[in-house]
Amino acid sequence: MKNIITTHRPLDEIRADELQQSMDMIEQKLDMEIGGKQKTIERQELEIQRLHALLEVQSKSLTDITVQLSECTRKGEGNRQLINKLLNDIDRLNQDIEWYKRTYVKRSLLGVIKDKLK
């Protein structure tokens, strides 16, 4: 009842003022909502930038790890080949030792005498 006509203004002018005030309030609320949404957009843009930077760091780390894995696989294969070679060398040396024992220890004069005594 605030708008009781106590002034001598025309009724159309009062309604126009009320309409203008309502429009101003709507405009203010829209401005506030737009401002809030703009802040939300800015926060989300910052979060997107942070996530992009994090993704870049993780991508680089993944690339580094992939390179390290490849290098470790290559070294592991090289070590496996070296171990196999060493095992073959050991086997050949054991065969040489057995040949030496057969040839010089068991067939020597002392080896033959030893066998005869047993």
How far apart, in whole angstroms, are the C-alpha atoms of residue 54 and residue 62?
12
How far apart, in whole angstroms, are the C-alpha atoms of residue 27 and residue 35?
12
Whole-number percent of the chain with pLDDT over 70:
85
Tokens 């993704």 sit on residue: 55
Lowest mean pLDDT among 19-23, 50-54, 112-116: 112-116
Q: What's the predicted TM-score (pTM) here?
A: 0.52
Largest CA distance in the chain: 150
